[in-house]
A = this chain, B = another copy of it.
Amino acid sequence: MPSVKRDFGVVPQATRPGPQCDDCEIREISVCRSMSPPDLARLQAIISTTHVAAGQPITHEGEPAESLFNVVSGAVKLYKLLPDGRRQITGFLFPGDFLGIALNDTYVYTAEALTPVRLCRFPRRRLEALLREIPNLEHELLNEVATELVAAQDQMLLLGRKTARERVASFLLMLDRGTKRTNRPPNILDLPMSRGDIADYLGLTTETVSRTFTQLRKAGVIALTHRGEVEILDRAGLEAESEGG
């Protein structure tokens, strides 16, 4: 297999105008879901499509937020850093997820592509103008952000109160719920992120994540397939593990 993956995004942020919302594969699972045809046309007028190569940044914490994005394909990680380099990943994004919540027009986290990523880009100023004209769009965004907030609160419970084993089990179940939207074989999870990324998401270390995977494997709850995938062998068992059952 030659370097197809790499070529996919050799020009980070390379932008093409003129995508067609009608053909969009994430239309039904994204914020554009309930737009009327005329509203959708206005939205389509301001968007463009962007490719970002694996490992490349998309937004940078602290920089002015000039664009918002919808993830069309690929996977993205969001993180915050402490001055000494400690890192907390606040979320992973998959197709249909919205990216670019900002405060005072400044990105509050860094977003980085885990795989080659295709994005639908909204210039912030123009999107904000549209928000005023299309209340329905603002409504969808409110739903989106509220859902993210609920997820963030679940993550606080995980980070503040769960054991390493419960965290890893919860993580796998969360990933599984997330990929329900795609057409993958059930119970097989692709992990586009490294052990280190998982550790920084769960408030653990690479070693502890690795050891915990091993424990869950030996307990017969999951299996680790050749190419970095995880198979859920015992969903009920995993669910019990995730809350201290």
Contacts and interface: CB of A to CB of B under 8 A. Distances in A.
A145 B145 contact: yes
A87 B149 contact: no
A132 interface: yes
A150 B88 contact: no
14 contacts: A80-B153, A82-B161, A82-B243, A84-B243, A90-B156, A103-B150, A132-B135, A138-B139, A141-B142, A149-B149, A152-B156, A159-B203, A160-B203, A161-B203
Contact of A146 (B103, B132, B150): B103
Contact of A80 (B83, B145, B148, B157): B157
Main secondary structure of the interface of A (DSSP, over half): helix
A153 B109 contact: yes
Contacts of A80: 153-154, 156-157
Contact of A150 (B101, B141, B244): B101
Interface residues of A, number: 43
Given A83-B243, A87-B161, A108 B156 contact: no
Interface in A158-204: 159-162, 200-203
Interface string A81-109: 01110111010000000000111000011
A70 interface: no
A3 interface: no
A156 B101 contact: no
A155 interface: yes
Interface in A98-147: 101-103, 108-109, 131-132, 135, 138-139, 141-142, 145-147
